[in-house]
Structure 1
Amino acid sequence: MSRITLPRAARRLAIAAAASATAVVLTAVPAAAHVEVESEKAEALAEHVTISFEAESESDSAGITELKVVLPEGIKPADVTYDKGPEGWKFAAEDAGYTVKGPALKAGENAEYSITVRQLPDAKELAFKTLQTYGDKRTDRWIELDDEGENPAPVLKLEAAAPGAKQTDPSPSNTASPTPTADDTAQPSSAKETDEKSDQGGLPAGAWVGIGAAVVIAIAAVFFVVRRRGGARS
């Protein structure tokens, strides 16, 4: 009897051990690298909000050199200022977002930086699509908005706006005055003088008055000479 039950027990123990080993192996596999984003003031319409990012490195041979970010709708490049980042890295605003780049980090080192946003939009979440470039020109594209995608964009979840919170006026850099036209830049200092010149062939009114007086004097002189000669002949 014991000869039959022992092999069965052994097989059960082997299966249980294999399952445990498999679970350990699966849990030991690291999650796919990506970009993390967080903020202590993640609230719709909040002002002067600092947002921190951490781009995880998944290269053992090259360091991260650049992070190019496309801003979510409701945040303009002019509303963003650079807070801090890796030593030697610089911030540059672009048409649709910004770039943070500099000397290559050590291979395997994550890139951490933070920005300050003038005001967050009235939204539930903000996606910061990111292109992560390494020293060997490899680029990881963290741009997918699907939670189950292989390359998800970093998304900041926002709480509801505080009672009474409102959208502030746009920043001065976003309300630039209309670009002057060629006609605007060519205007003289006096608009009255411009009108007089255009109506009178390009000369000031005083010049035309002088010309008129000279013509009158010339005609009078000719008339006087002709009349005097006629009297002398008679």
Structure 2
Amino acid sequence: MNLRRAGLTGAVALTAVLALAGPAAAHAEVEADKAQALAENVTLTFVSEAESASGGFREVRVVLPEGIAPADVSLGKAPKGWSLKVTDDGYVVGGPALKTGVDAEYEVRVRQLPDADEVAFKTVETYSDGEISRWIELPKDGQEADQPAPLLKLKAAAPGATPVAPSPSASPTPSPTPSAAASTTTATADASTAAEAGEKKDDDGSSTGLLVGGAIAAVLVLGGGAWWLTKRRASATGG
């Protein structure tokens, strides 16, 4: 009798444990084809387990760990119609909503993993019915988190492995270009030419003025001489 009661009690306890563990079973995970620090061209596979009873996954947002730049991530395999959009601190993968109960699985390619023992990818999942699941907590004091972020443990870097140069985030401010300098030179030359043309014009004007003045003086001289000659002839005739 006591054994039977003990068995029933154990079965009830086990059922209760399973019932409590059921809702927390859904989670997000990450795996890598090369889980090693400073490994290059690594493919990461993410799986978000469906937990909504009324909607399917619409998008998954990931915050990248320190050492992985958003510009160094590209989308690999993904649900049909889904695409990747880079954000300031990570990326968003999404598209047409998946069927209710279907897990969201996709791959991204990373240029290089950081030099660390483990890296966390905080994940926020959005369903078509508006439900949001946040897998963003990190282990603390050796205790497992209630909503753990996908965690990837890395082996030590290979001998001689070094960090690659970071992807350019912005173009440097350009220095004055040869064309600009040439334009400046051309403008200066044009200004000089215009000045010279003005001086030449002034010179031409002065020369023309001198010629006109000389012509007028000559006319006056000739007129005065003609008048004097006429008067002299008149005097001689009268005499």
Q: Aligned letter for 2:203?
A: V
Structure exhibiting the larger radius of gyration computed from Cα positions: 2
**1:137 corresponding residue in structure 2:** 130
Cα distance in 2, alignment partners of residues 115 and 180 from structure 1:
34
**1:15 corresponding residue in structure 2:** 6
Count matched residues: 216
Map 1:87-166 to 2 at 5 A. 87-146=80-139, 148-166=144-162
User: CA 1:13–1:105 in 2, change beyond 3 Å: closer, same or farther?
Assistant: same
Stretches of 4+ aligned residues off by more than 6 angstroms: none
Instruction: State the TM-score, normalized to the length of structure 2.
Output: 0.77
The answer as to whether partners of 2:53 and 2:100 remain within 8 angstroms in 1 is yes
C-alpha displacement of 1:230: 5.7
Map 1:31-110 to 2 at 5 A. 31-110=24-103
Cα distance in 2, alignment partners of residues 190 and 149 from structure 1:
60
Listed as ranges, the gaps of 5+ residues in structure 2 are 225-239
Give 3-state SS (helix, strand or coil) of 2:45's partner.
Answer: strand
Larger mean Cα displacement after TM superposition, 43-52 or 135-144: 135-144
Cα distance in 2, alignment partners of residues 219 and 115 from structure 1:
82
Instruction: State the TM-score, normalized to the length of structure 1.
Output: 0.78
Q: Aligned letter for 1:134?
A: Y
Render the CA deviation track for 1:16-52: whole Å, top value 9, x for unaligned: 5413441354246434321011112111111000000
Give 3-state SS (helix, strand or coil) of 1:165's partner.
Answer: coil
Listed as ranges, the gaps of 5+ residues in structure 1 are 1-9
C-alpha displacement of 1:192: 3.9
Map 1:216-231 to 2 at 5 A. 216-226=203-213
C-alpha displacement of 1:158: 1.5
RMSD over aligned CA atoms reads 2.9
Give 3-state SS (helix, strand or coil) of 1:88's partner.
Answer: coil
Cα distance in 2, alignment partners of residues 51 and 14 from structure 1:
50
